[in-house]
Amino acid sequence: MSDDLSPVAVVGLGRIGLPLAVQYASQGLTVTGCDINADIVAEVAQGRCPYPDEEGLEAALRAAHAAGHLTATTDTREAVSRSKVVVIIVPVGLTPENRADFSALDAAARSVAAGLRPGTLVILETTVPAGTTRSHLGPLLETSGLRIGQEILLAYSPERVFVGRVLADLRKYPKIVGGVDDASLKRAAAFYEKALAAPVLRMANCETAEFVKLAETTYRDVNIALANELARAADQHGVDVVEAIAAANSQPFSHIHQPGMGVGGHCIPVYPYFLLEGAEEARLPRAARQINDGMARYTVERLAGVLGNLSRKTILILGLSYRPNIKEAAYSSTLLVAREMMAAGAHVLVHDPYYSADEMNRLGLEAPPTFPPAHTDALVIQAAHDEYQKLDLASFNGCSVVLDGRNALSKKKVEALGLRYLGIGR
């Protein structure tokens, strides 16, 4: 192992940062995870996993900790001061104006700068607008008194993983890497070749590497928007869009995604706006965002059309998580749909096996006092958790309509219970 690649500091122990730290440690690198959340740091420092729904992470973390390759701290400056590679993976979300919110990145960068030593390689993995690594992060790191391209190496490599299966994805997807100069690229590529089993794809510069992630996530958002437009057209024609899309995708040039009541997560609702920061005239990404966020209102209008109106109706939304079988509510469609329903006068309840009533309340949502509730006029499936696939829908007293916002249930089985089934494009 090259002495230039260890120790490593991973700044940010979130749903992606912690698996990254564990992956690096599993390859024999000495890794310190850094985070401002003292509770998470305490868990990791004791070899315990704060994300039990992340496949394979608990066992891998325990092994890395037992081998002495992984520890954690809240003192980022100190960890950086004894590291030769620093990987920054902290959240960059959106401001109310849909611009990149750099507050967490800036705070992390200042802590990193305070501990930098000559020769350190800094890699940013957080998805950011093109140009951020060189023009935004670089000057913050130079507050250390060290110069980028002289005493400090700087590179960008976007995370390309799916929460819930991060470790598996790290072994599978090619690692995109770009540097501010050739020396930074060479060292960053060598680091990932040691730390990962996946192939490393070297980009011409860090801007190209940044753009790759924006392109692939915007593609998905635009594709989902097309599927949602097809679903709305299918509703008008009495066509099952799921059947139609499956048939269309039997043609090898067709790769249509699936429609739904909205798009959630840290990535797809956010990163197209990062692309637009450098290309405001791009029309398709902006239209896709409007279409996909507009599915919340469309969903509510469909339900209101069947119930007559939503005033004083009790609606139970199943699933706060933005996708099945994980605890992650970032930009969840439930937040938009609940707001639309409340504006229409509905009494909205939200259930999710991964969230407590207090966690719901902190998001402005109300959990049912019992499950099933005493009375429900309609059910809305927002996250198709495995638990919801097994529900006895007949046990929901008063329920007459099931709106399947993820097209996850059997229409025949729902209707066999005497309930009205509504899907998205079905």
Annotated catalytic sites, by residue?
A: 213, 267
Say if residue 315 is exposed, middle or buried (CB neighbours under 10 Å; 0-12, 13-18, 19+): buried
Q: At a CB cut-off of 8 Å and minimum separation 6, what does 283 contact?
A: none
Other CB atoms within a 10 A radius of the CB of residue 412 amount to: 8
Distance CA 8, CA 11 (A): 10
Query: Does the bond joining 372 to the residue before it have cis omega, within 30 degrees of 0?
Result: yes
CA torsion 259→225→212→283, rounded to 10°? 180
Q: Which two tokens stand for residue 60?
A: 């891998």
Distance CA 35, CA 419 (A): 49
DSSP 266-326: SSTTTHHHHHHHT-TT-HHHHHHHHHHHHHHHHHHHHHHHHHS--TT-EEEEE--SSSTTS
What distances in angstroms separate CA 171 from CA 20, 89, 389, one per listed residue? 11, 18, 31
Distance CA 371, CA 349 (A): 11
Query: Does the bond joining 52 to the residue before it have cis omega, within 30 degrees of 0?
Result: no
